[in-house]
Amino acid sequence: MKLKRIALGLTVVALMITIVPSVFACYEYTPGYWKHNVRVYVEGIGSYSADINEIKESDCSMECYETWIRAHICGDFTLEWANTEFWMRGPGRQPIRQMIADWFNLAKDNC
């Protein structure tokens, strides 16, 4: 019985070593990253953030993301709507922010 637990434990550790690095290989940007960049576009406050490759977002990239999201996820999507949703307060807001960030991450991967 003790040997089975040790074997199971070693199997789990081996799987974690194999799988976990591949999960983190794809970089996803946080809702805060997108909230900031959407605000820069919509309100003209601040300057764009740079991504992991040190390339700053721009008006052009934000418009590309908006177009991609409209075409592939939500036909009514606008950057103005995203800005409003990112800045709304109250319970249950974080899942909505995360959903929008996920949309932007997909768009960034495809633009």
d(CA 74, CA 46): 27
Instruction: Give residue-wise pLDDT tens across range 18-39.
Output: 444 434 445 799 999 999 999 9
How many domains is the chain built from?
1
Residue written as token pair 């991450």? 105
- The answer to whether residue 6 sits within a structural domain is no
Range of the domain at 59: 29-110
- The answer to whether residue 65 sits within a structural domain is yes
Confirm whether pTM is higher than 0.85: no
What confidence score (pLDDT) does residue 39 get? 98
Residue 5 has pLDDT above 90, yes or no: no
Task: Tell me the β-bridge partners of 50.
Answer: 56
- The answer to whether residue 18 sits within a structural domain is no
Question: Distances from the Cα of 100 to the Cαs of 13, 33, 47, 94, in angstroms?
Answer: 34, 11, 20, 10
pLDDT-wise least confident of 8-17, 49-58, 102-111: 8-17
d(CA 73, CA 106): 10
Instruction: Give residue-wise pLDDT tens across range 35-53.
Output: 999 999 999 999 999 999 9
